[in-house]
Amino acid sequence: MKIEKYIRDIQGFPKEGILFKDITPLLINPEARTNCLKILVDSLEGKKIDKVVGAESRGFFLGMLLAQELNAGFVPVRKPKKLPYETISAFYELEYGSDSLEMHIDAIKKGDRVLIHDDVLATGGTAKAVCELVEKLGGEIVQCNFLMELTFLNGREKIKEYPVFAALTY
Ligand code: AMP
């Protein structure tokens, strides 16, 4: 089964010039989802993971499933003012705009082995900010993994000090 069949291209969303990669057809199909999860888990080659950190909001879907599969904790990284407890923040740039991201201060313990997950690696700004948050709390980044990578945006360069895996590349 080819998982790329379940990624839908939406031209001009959320604004002109963006080719949006819609993962909802994949989320809706249990077989495609299971297949995708297996590819992402296999890429870790049995490495132990204590926490999976997912970036708001599309990193939560498979991030949570990955955490369950790996018997790891799940940590949500959210947009500003969404998390109720004390937070740390990091600034980032998007393919469309800029913002900051936050994580609870007790989400990662020093020495935790961390997998970072998001749906798309585009310019790498989001992933870089998530890495910063994890390292601020003393976590060790084992891998950054993505459902897909938009290689022409060169996001890998921003997170080149970490192992990066993408199930699909465009
Ligand atoms: P970036 O920080 O540029 O690597 O952008 C990655 C974040 O923006 C991810 O959380 C994606 O969900 C979202 N994103 C960026 N570009 C796209 C795209 N072309 N299609 C879908 N999501 C995107």
The reply to whether ligand 1 has any atom less than 6 angstroms from the CB of 119 is: yes
* pLDDT exceeds 70 at position 96: no
Confidence of residue 1 (pLDDT cuts 50, 70, 90): confident
Q: How far is the CA of 115 from the centre of ligand 1 (A)?
A: 18
Which position among 95, 113, 132, 135 bears the catalytic label?
A: 95
* pLDDT exceeds 70 at position 83: yes
Whole-number pLDDT of residue 130: 98
The reply to whether ligand 1 has any atom less than 6 angstroms from the CB of 19 is: yes
Whole-number pLDDT of residue 92: 84
pTM over the 0.85 mark: yes
CATH numbers and ranges of domains, the chain: 46-169 (3.40.50.2020)
Instruction: Name which of 83, 68, 140 is nearest 108 in CA terms.
Output: 140
The reply to whether ligand 1 has any atom less than 6 angstroms from the CB of 62 is: no
**pLDDT single digits (tens) 130-159:** 999 999 999 999 999 999 999 999 999 999
Residue to substitute in 24, 96, 126 for testing ligand 1 pocket (most ligand atoms within 8 angstroms of CB): 126
Whole-number pLDDT of residue 95: 59
- The answer to whether 95 is a known catalytic residue is yes
The reply to whether ligand 1 has any atom less than 6 angstroms from the CB of 58 is: yes
Alpha-carbon separation of residue 154 from 49, 55, 89, 170 (angstroms): 26, 19, 24, 11
**Count, residues in the chain:** 170
